[in-house]
Structure 1
């Protein structure tokens, strides 16, 4: 297979995975915020993950928080979440928004549905432009 065919195909696969990840995160937040269920939770720990991007060695660091809370039916739930405030440390109490059911969707991010929808649509639009460009290169 020619490199001029393989490279755009890899870009398209990467774009599809990124779009899946963006939509999965949006649906998780939408379920948690839309359920109306709220509990007091606690930040158990924080950590960062760093990865090297590109050949120039630029670092990309992401902050993670691990939370725990009790659902209304008495189940203990622990979950990890990317992002969040820099000032949040282990031991802090937080408000957790969650959905009921066998698979609990939970977040400690306060509800901002318009901001989240705009962010999701912006990212999907960007990924769409990248995909169209890759298809254009592939068609040539």
Structure 2
């Protein structure tokens, strides 16, 4: 029983630390693409939405996706899907995309906005930090309860 109070929060901390790593990696990739990427004109081939959440008592989150296609400077045709794009872009529109020559499939049509990227990443990291802190406090309190009661909860 005592193992449950330690193992579950430690596993949760592991998942949240990995999520923080992915969040920072994504922000660095997008920032690098904005700063060092090449530009190309892309055409929006399709837009669609996805929903997440259960509905009912829980909230539903809708994400707008766009499918773009462009040709790299080397003549390679690349098609990619990007979420959270502007709702003003519709099928057939032309947009400027930025891509790194070594990873053209990781292109982005998001306009450079370092402030928005930093705020979004910072808020995500703050949320994960609070959640990790809660897990650490939970483990500490559980440990104190187990040591005071000789391994048995009251």
Shorter-chain TM range is: 0.7 to 0.9
Aligned residues: CA RMSD: 2.1
Residue 132 of structure 1 aligns with which residue?
133
SS at match of 2:75: coil
Higher Rg of the two aligned structures: 2
* 2:86 matches 1:81: no
Alpha carbons 2:37, 2:101 under 8 Å: kept: no
Residue 71 of structure 2 aligns with which residue?
70
Residue 32 of structure 1 aligns with which residue?
33
SS at match of 1:56: coil
Residue 113 of structure 2 aligns with which residue?
112
Q: Cα gap change, 1:86/1:29 in structure 2, threshold over 3 Å: closer, same or farther?
A: same
Give the TM-score, by structure 2 length: 0.78
Cα shift at 1:38: 0.7
* 2:22 matches 1:21: yes
CA distance in 1, matches of 2:67, 2:107: 11
Greater RCO (Cα-Cα under 8 Å, separation 6 or more)? 1
Cα shift at 1:3: 4.2
Aligned residues: 139
Alpha carbons 1:53, 1:60 under 8 Å: kept: no
CA distance in 2, matches of 1:90, 1:56: 34
Runs of 5+ consecutive residues of structure 2 not aligned to the other structure = 142-154
Query: Equivalences for 1:6-17 in 2 at 5 Å?
Result: 6-17=7-18
